[in-house]
Structure 1
């Protein structure tokens, strides 16, 4: 149980290891987003790079935790998406700032609300999945919701 809690903490940590030796290539996110013509297609980029990461992790990991390669790759993917979310949000916030304080504050409040929504939704996913696969379900949910938010913010930026 303690190992599962440590895994959850690691999976929800901020973007510290993106581009590490996990086998996950964050450049794939930018390539997928650039090639995707719509918000929906951009949201489909959430799992980009996972196959290569899993193949790499399964070759490198020799332990007895069957979930470790997936947890490792979800962590690396999530961190890369968090970094992309931060840069996308900052760019949109700067654009909104040129319109005045009210649009900028509205964006900040919307992002705070979204963060709470993501945490609540993904915690529910963890609870629904049960103890065995709950941490992975939560990590996948957080990564996928972060990718969806990046797609949404990119679309808002294109409306400018």
Structure 2
């Protein structure tokens, strides 16, 4: 019996060390502060991509395909957490607005936002899959798709903030 066969079950059961993603996550830690402290929608939009760019410049693997993808996905994850919060805040705002509406016929903000968000998620995923498909089998398709996910998630987050803040 080969030595590997003896140790394989032990290796499979052993806890794995922290993934390299943790290195990339550190670069994205400032995204929330940038977004939350932005005094305007335009300033919030300027936060997009800064963490991924710093990660690609500073991380040891930042200039590799793997590193570029991980840097962009780390920032996308930070924006996704903000997106979920902005969405919940908008749902609460719109539900309160709907409850205060004089006519139930016009109390459709919350329902409309839910439908729009579901449609947006499907569109984002399809759009970013297209960005990857355009590269055929090339590895840059992964980089382009990750960048697409980052960009569209950040844009939607800022759009939801603007939508919520524009309510009377």
Same fold (TM over 0.5): yes
Q: Residue 45 of structure 1 aligns to a residue in which SS?
A: coil
Name the counterpart of 1:103: 109
C-alpha contact (below 8 Å) 1:33/1:45 kept by paired residues:
no
Structure 1 ranges of 4+ moved more than 6 A: none
Name the counterpart of 1:79: 77
Q: TM-score of the superposition, structure 2-length normalised?
A: 0.72
- 1: CA distance, partners of 2:152 / 2:46: 11
Name the counterpart of 2:124: 118
Name the counterpart of 2:164: 157
RMSD: 2.5
1:48–1:29 Cα change, 3 Å: farther
Pick aligned residue for 1:34 from 34, 37, 41: 37
- 2: CA distance, partners of 1:155 / 1:117: 20
Q: TM-score of the superposition, structure 1-length normalised?
A: 0.75
For structure 1, list consecutive stretches of 5 or more residues without a partner in the other structure: 1-16
Name the counterpart of 1:7: none
C-alpha contact (below 8 Å) 2:31/2:78 kept by paired residues:
no
For structure 2, list consecutive stretches of 5 or more residues without a partner in the other structure: 1-18, 99-106
Q: Is 2:141 aligned against 1:139?
A: no
Q: Residue 26 of structure 1 aligns to a residue in which SS?
A: helix
Name the counterpart of 1:46: 48
The C-alpha deviation readout for 1:44-85, integer Å capped at 9, x for no partner, is: 422021233123322xx4xxx931211110121111111010
Q: Which moved more, 1:93-102 or 1:76-85?
A: 93-102
Select the structure with the greater relative contact order (CA < 8 A; seq sep ≥ 6): 1
- Indicate the structure (1 or 2) with the bigger Cα radius of gyration: 2
- 1: CA distance, partners of 2:97 / 2:113: 12
Name the counterpart of 1:24: 27
